[in-house]
Chain A
Amino acid sequence: MNGKVLEIRGLCVDYGIGADAVRAVRDVDLTLHRGEVLGLAGESGSGKSTLAYGLTRLLPPPGVVSGGQVIYHPAEGPPVDVLTLSPARLREFRWAETSIVFQGAMNSLNPVHKVSTQLLDVIRAHEPTSTAASRLARAKDLLRLVGIAADRLDSYPHQLSGGMRQRVMIAMALALEPQLVIMDEPTTALDVVMQRQILGQLAELRERLGFAVLFITHDLSLLVEFSDRIAIMYGGRIVEEAPAARLYAEPLHPYTEGLLHSFPALRGPRRELTGIPGSPPDLRAMPAGCVFHPRCPKAFEPCDERVPVLGPPGVDDPTRAVACWLHPAVAPLPR
C-alpha cells in the first residue's frame, strides 16, 4: 500500500433536482490505495452502483452529483478533482486513468461493431499519434492477456459467449494501463465456474500490472476472498470499512453481521444462516437516526434519533471504521 490513488470525500448523489430530489448516496468518504482491491458490498438499492457511476460522472439523467470531491492522484503530477473537470478534460481522463467493467456483459459491447473496432477506437482516441500497426499489435496482446485467441478480433459481440465478452471488456479496461479499474458486478451474469476463472485471471493480472480495483458486488463471500479491504454500504452510506479478513472474522456493524450470515462460510467453522429481516429502506422516506435501526436486532435508545458517524471504533484500531452506536467512533474518520 504505497499512497492513495483515489479519495472520495463527502460525495452526495441525487436523482432529480429540488423538491423531487432523492438522495441515493450521502456523505460517502472512501479512500483507495495504489494496487489494492477495495470491495464495496451491499444489498440492491444500497447505492453502491450509484456511487460508482456518480464518481465517474456516468450517471444518466435524472442523476446529479450534489456535493463532495473525488480526488484522483495520477502516477505523476498533482492530484485532480474529477468533479471539476471540463467535459474535454474528463474525456481525456476517462479510461486512461480509471476504466470500468460494467455489470451487463451482454450489453456492454456495441452489437454492430467488431471487437477490433471497439478495442482500437479507445486506443486511438487517447493516443492519436500511435500508428495503426502498433494499435493492432496492442489489441492482440490485450486479448492474449485475458486468454482469448487474437483471431477473435474479427468477431462480432453476438458471436462470443458471455464469459468471452466479459473477458473482452476486461482486456479493453486494461488497454491504456489505468491505475484504477472499477468493476460493477463484473461476474454476476456468469455461471460459477466462469466466475471463478475470470476472478482468478483478474487477481493474476492485478499482480502483474499493479492497478487498483474498486470491486462492487452484492456477493460478500466473493469479496472476502478476493479483496484487501471491504466497505459495506447501506441506505446510501458507508456503514463499515475494514480489512477483508478482520471484517469477516469480527464484523462490528449489525448489518455487516447480517450480510455475513446470509451466505454459507466457504472455509472455517460452520455458521448459522439467518439473513436480515425486513427490506432496504425507501430512498424517498428514510428513517431518522441510523438508517438501519428499523431492521436492526440490536437497536437501542440513540439509534432512532441520531445518525452515527463513520469512524474508528477504538484508538488502537485505525485500520477500520464503523458507523454504529454500539461502537461509537472515537474520532471522525481522518481525511
Chain B
Amino acid sequence: MTISPSSIEQVIPGQGAMAQPSARARRRRFRFVANAKAATGLVVLGVYALLAVIGPWIAPYDPDARSADVLQAPSTRHWFGTTHLGQDIFSQILVGARSVMVVGLIAGVLATVLSILIGVTAGYLGGAADESLSALSNVFLVIPALPLIIIVASLVDQAGDLLVALIIGLTSWAWGARVLRAQTLSLRRRDYVEAARATGERTWRIIGFEILPNLTAIIASGFVGTVIFAVMSEITLAFIGISSVSSWNWGTILFWAQGQQALAQGAWWWFVPAGLAIALLGTALALINFGIDEFVSPRLRTGGRTRIRTADGRTVRMRVGFTPVLAPRAAPVPMQDTREDRTS
C-alpha cells in the first residue's frame, strides 16, 4: 500500500523522504541501533546466538542421560528440574537452542532469497511475468502454511533439522515477495531509476545498485518475520511429533512433557522454561521488527514526546489537529475568549 505524501508533510523539514544523502543515511543507521526496541531485541538475539554456539558445551548434563532423579522440581543440581526419565531439562534447553536457531536461520535465508527473486523480479519486469509471479505468491499466501508444512513433513519419516528448514523456507516466502513487489513497483517509477534506464544501464545493475539498497529495510523486516514463523513452525512440528524426536529442540521437550502428562502430574517446570525461551526469542525478533518499522516511518514511534512542558510549567499534548501553543500566558492578552457561556 503506497500512501501519497500529504501536502502538509512536505512543509516539515527533515521528515518523510527515505532516500537521503549518505551522511544522513549514516546517521540514520546509527539511530536504528540507538532505537531502544531494536537494541533490546538485538541484545537478546545475540544471547540466543551465543547459546546456539556454546550451548551443547556448557550444558551440565547429557540431555539424553537418564538418572535416578525422576521428575524433580528445580533445584541447585537441576536448575530447571528433570523429566520422567531423570533427564536434566536445563541441559535440554541449552542443547536445543542450536537446532532452533539453525532452522530459523536456514529457513529465513531461503525464504528471503526466494522472496527477493520472485518479488523484485515481478515488480521490476511487470507485464505477464508480474501477473504470473504475483498469482503464484498469492496462492502460497492464501493456502494455510502450517497444515501444508505438517502434511509434507509427516510424509518423510523422522524429518531432520535441515529438511524441516527446507520445507518451511520453501512454503513461507510469499508474504515477503508480495511486499517487495509492491515496493519495487513504486521504486521503479522513481526518477533516478527511470534515469538509469534511459541511459542504458543494464537491468541487473539497476536492480543491484538502484533498487535493492532501497529495499534493505523491507528485506530485513521480511527476514525477521520469516525467522519468527520458521521457529514457531519448527517447534510446532516437534511438539506434535512429526520431526525427529531424537534430536533436541524446545518443541521436543514440550512433546515429551505433553506425552507424559506433565500437566496432570503438576510438573510445571517441564514445559514452562521451553515456552518462555520461545516467547523471549519471538519477542526479541518482534522488537527488532518494530525498530525497523519505526526506522522506516518515524511517525510510528510510540511514547516519544507526546507530552511537552512549556516554559511556564504547563503540560501540553502533541496531537494532530490542535497544534500546541507554547507562548506563556503571562503576556498581556487584551482580548479574552468571551464566549464562555456557550456550551460545546
Chain A: residues with CB nearer than 8 A to chain B?
14-15, 17, 22, 24, 44-45, 49-50, 53-54, 57-69, 71, 77-81, 83-92, 102-104, 106-107, 184-185, 283-284
CB-CB under 8 A from A79, the residues of chain B are 335
CB-CB under 8 A from B324, the residues of chain A are 64-65
Contact B335 A71 (CB under 8 A): yes
Contact B337 A84 (CB under 8 A): yes
Residue on B nearest A94 in the bound complex, by CB: B321
B330 at the interface (CB under 8 A from A): no
CB-CB under 8 A from A66, the residues of chain B are 326-327
Bound form: Cα–Cα A57–B322 in Å: 5
Residue on B nearest A104 in the bound complex, by CB: B7
6 residue pairs of the A-B complex, CB under 8 angstroms, read A59-B8, A61-B318, A67-B326, A77-B338, A81-B337, A89-B344
**Besides A67-B326, A185-B7, 9 new A-B residue pairs in contact (Cβ under 8 A), listed by A number:** A24-B13, A49-B7, A65-B327, A68-B327, A84-B333, A85-B337, A89-B344, A91-B344, A284-B13
Bound form: Cα–Cα A142–B338 in Å: 31
Q: Tell me how many residue pairs across A and B have CB atoms closer than 8 Å.
A: 107
Bound form: Cα–Cα A102–B6 in Å: 11
Mark out the residues of chain B between 214 and 228 whose CB falls within 8 Å of any chain A CB in the assembled complex. none
Q: With both chains docked as a complex, state the minimum distance between the C-beta of B277 and any C-beta of chain A, in angstroms.
A: 39
Contact A64 B326 (CB under 8 A): yes
Q: B4, B12, B329 — which one has the most chain A CB atoms within 10 A of its CB?
A: B12
Bound form: Cα–Cα A289–B123 in Å: 51
Q: With both chains docked as a complex, state the minimum distance between the C-beta of A305 and any C-beta of chain B, in angstroms.
A: 26
Contact A57 B323 (CB under 8 A): yes
Contact B4 A107 (CB under 8 A): yes
B325 at the interface (CB under 8 A from A): yes
CB-CB under 8 A from A107, the residues of chain B are 4, 6-7
B339 at the interface (CB under 8 A from A): yes
Contact B323 A89 (CB under 8 A): no
A64-B326, A80-B338 known; A103+B344 contact, CB < 8 A: no
Residue on A nearest B8 in the bound complex, by CB: A60
Q: With both chains docked as a complex, state the minimum distance between the C-beta of A11 and any C-beta of chain B, in angstroms.
A: 9
B85 at the interface (CB under 8 A from A): no
Mark out the residues of chain B between 1 and 36 whose CB falls within 8 Å of any chain A CB in the assembled complex. 4, 6-13
B202 at the interface (CB under 8 A from A): no
CB-CB under 8 A from B338, the residues of chain A are 77-78, 80
